[in-house]
């Protein structure tokens, strides 16, 4: 019997070492170590052997089993590690996985671009509270409590005269109250309105407003600075249109449009077939505003303008729904 075991061992070693695929190895395992293998039968038949033979045969069976098990394991490892083999192997030809790198929100990137342009035009950045009072958000801006202009600026009222600011104009009031001219600031930030959200309105959005006050500031300077700003933003060939408008805090006031970038003025869905897209409101600071902050309107003049940052971002990347910017959906944010 020992002789037969030795032969078996030689055969099994050759089969394990020679296996060139996982299935060949599995076949060899069943043949030499499986439940019905000769080795297993020998091991089960040990009890029938005479006492003196049993001990030596038992030891031989165990040694071979251990040796073959080790060889089987080594062969399995060899096949898994090598090229062109069985299932579950890593595919080394796949491209690597890039780590997720965070980046700034598209509104933040647009804001920073605008800030950079206005910095080169001599404007510094001013900020103020989001929870405002009635005076800074409305009264000082020549929007009295009974004035229909308040309808356009419905907001979220807190206690007493506290409310969420509807524009960043109160920052301009606060700056005028705390400083003397000349003043040349932009006031960017989040603003709030009680709007029913749709593709072009949100109850929160971002504005950037500008203010320049000094002796002898004229409307032509306002036109010049906005033309320059839009040229920096969209390229010098941009076509700008100044259209009469109304704001309680500026007089005269203007709406500033650019020729539609999508259809080049032909008329399309984006410009609602007008060929123009409204980008800014602007005008000369109303004397009533100067009175509210204690400036002499006979000494100082100035201009102000305001734009929606979300809208600029939408125009630049062709996004058609403002709500996408405020939903925090990474599938969207990683594209724009
Ligand atoms: N504050 C205005 C608004 O939110 C924007 C604006 C600012 C218009 C300055 C004209 C001048 O509607």
138 Cβ inside 6 Å of ligand 1:
no
pLDDT of residue 264: 87
Q: Is the pLDDT confidence value at 81 over 80?
A: no
Instruction: Tell me whether residue 122 is in a domain.
Output: yes
Ligand 1 atom 7: the closest Cα is on which residue? 306
Q: How far is the CA of 232 from the centre of ligand 1 (A)?
A: 21
Instruction: Tell me whether residue 170 is in a domain.
Output: yes
Range of the domain at 48: 2-82
Q: For 179-226, what is each residue's pLDDT tens digit? A: 999 999 999 999 999 989 888 888 999 999 999 999 999 999 999 999
What CATH number does the domain containing 211 carry? 3.30.930.10
Q: For 5-62, what is each residue's pLDDT tens digit? A: 888 888 888 888 888 888 888 898 899 988 898 888 888 888 888 888 888 888 888 8
**Mutation probe of ligand 1 site: the residue of 147, 209, 243 with most atoms within 8 A of C-beta:** 209
**Mutation probe of ligand 1 site: the residue of 168, 169, 193, 251 with most atoms within 8 A of C-beta:** 169
What is the mean predicted confidence (pLDDT) over 160-170? Answer: 97
Instruction: Tell me whether residue 90 is in a domain.
Output: no
Instruction: Tell me whether residue 264 is in a domain.
Output: yes
Q: For residues 308 and 53, which has the higher predicted lDDT (pLDDT)?
A: 308
Residues 55 and 195 in one domain: no
- The tokens for 114 are 């605008």
255 Cβ inside 6 Å of ligand 1:
no
295 Cβ inside 6 Å of ligand 1:
no
pTM more than 0.85: no
> Can you spell out the DSSP letters for 250-266?
EEEEEEEEEE-TTTTTS
Residues 159 and 248 in one domain: yes
Residues 234 and 304 in one domain: yes
Q: Is the pLDDT confidence value at 84 over 60?
A: no
pLDDT of residue 85: 47
* Per-residue pLDDT band at 73 (split at 50, 70, 90): confident
Residues 126 and 239 in one domain: yes
What is the mean predicted confidence (pLDDT) over 70-91? Answer: 73
Distance CA 161, CA 202 (A): 23
Residues 60 and 12 in one domain: yes
Residues 56 and 127 in one domain: no
Domain ends where: 49, 82, 115?
Answer: 82
Instruction: Tell me whether residue 37 is in a domain.
Output: yes
Q: How far is the CA of 239 from the centre of ligand 1 (A)?
A: 22
**Alpha-carbon distances, residue 29 vs 26, 35, 67, 87, 250 (angstroms):** 5, 10, 13, 18, 91
Instruction: Tell me whether residue 303 is in a domain.
Output: yes
pLDDT of residue 52: 81
Instruction: Tell me whether residue 101 is in a domain.
Output: no
Residues 24 and 125 in one domain: no
Instruction: Tell me whether residue 284 is in a domain.
Output: yes
Residues 159 and 287 in one domain: yes
The number of domains in the chain is: 2
292 Cβ inside 6 Å of ligand 1:
no
Neighbours of 189 (CB within 10 A): 20
Ligand 1 atom 6: the closest Cα is on which residue? 306
Residues 59 and 175 in one domain: no
pLDDT of residue 86: 53
**Mutation probe of ligand 1 site: the residue of 210, 247, 303 with most atoms within 8 A of C-beta:** 247
What is the mean predicted confidence (pLDDT) over 234-261? Answer: 94
Residues 74 and 190 in one domain: no
Residues 125 and 10 in one domain: no
**Alpha-carbon distances, residue 279 vs 34, 144, 220, 309, 318 (angstroms):** 80, 26, 18, 10, 15
Which residues on adjacent β-strands are paired with residue 132? Answer: 163
Distance CA 298, CA 293 (A): 14
Q: Is the pLDDT confidence value at 269 over 60?
A: yes
Residues 135 and 199 in one domain: yes
* Burial class for 126, CB neighbours closer than 10 Å (0-12, 13-18, 19+): buried
């Amino acid at each position: 019997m020992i002789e037969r075991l030795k032969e078996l061992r030689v055969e099994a070693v050759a089969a394990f070492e020679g296996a060139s695929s996982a299935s060949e190895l599995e076949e060899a395992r069943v043949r030499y170590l499986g439940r019905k293998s000769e080795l297993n039968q020998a091991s089960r038949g040990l009890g029938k052997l005479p006492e003196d033979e049993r001990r030596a045969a038992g030891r031989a069976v165990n040694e071979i089993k251990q040796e073959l098990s080790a060889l089987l394991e080594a062969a399995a490892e060899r096949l898994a590690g090598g090229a062109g083999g069985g299932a579950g192997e890593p595919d080394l030809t796949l491209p690597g996985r890039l780590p997720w790198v965070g980046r700034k929100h598209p509104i933040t990137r647009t804001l920073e671009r605008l800030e950079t342009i206005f910095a080169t035009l001599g404007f510094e950045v001013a900020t103020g509270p989001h929870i405002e009072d009635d005076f800074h958000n409305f009264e000082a801006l020549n929007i009295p409590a009974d004035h229909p202009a308040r309808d356009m600026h419905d907001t979220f009222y807190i206690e007493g005269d506290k409310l969420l600011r509807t524009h960043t104009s109160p920052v301009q009031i606060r700056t005028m109250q705390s400083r003397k001219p000349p003043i040349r600031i932009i006031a960017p930030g989040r603003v709030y309105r009680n709007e029913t959200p749709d593709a072009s309105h949100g109850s929160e959005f971002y504005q950037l407003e500008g203010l320049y006050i000094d002796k002898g500031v004229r409307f032509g300077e306002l036109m010049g600075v906005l033309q320059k700003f839009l040229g920096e933003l969209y390229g010098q060939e941009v076509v700008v249109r100044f259209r009469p408008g109304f704001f309680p805090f500026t007089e005269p006031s203007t709406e500033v449009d650019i020729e539609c970038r999508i259809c080049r003025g032909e008329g399309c869905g984006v410009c609602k077939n007008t060929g123009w897209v409204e980008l800014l409101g602007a005008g000369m600071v109303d004397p009533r505003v100067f009175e509210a902050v204690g400036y002499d309107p006979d000494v100082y003049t100035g201009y102000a303008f305001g734009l929606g940052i979300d809208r600029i971002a939408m125009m630049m990347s062709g996004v058609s729904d403002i709500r996408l910017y405020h939903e925090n959906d990474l599938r969207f944010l990683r594209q724009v």
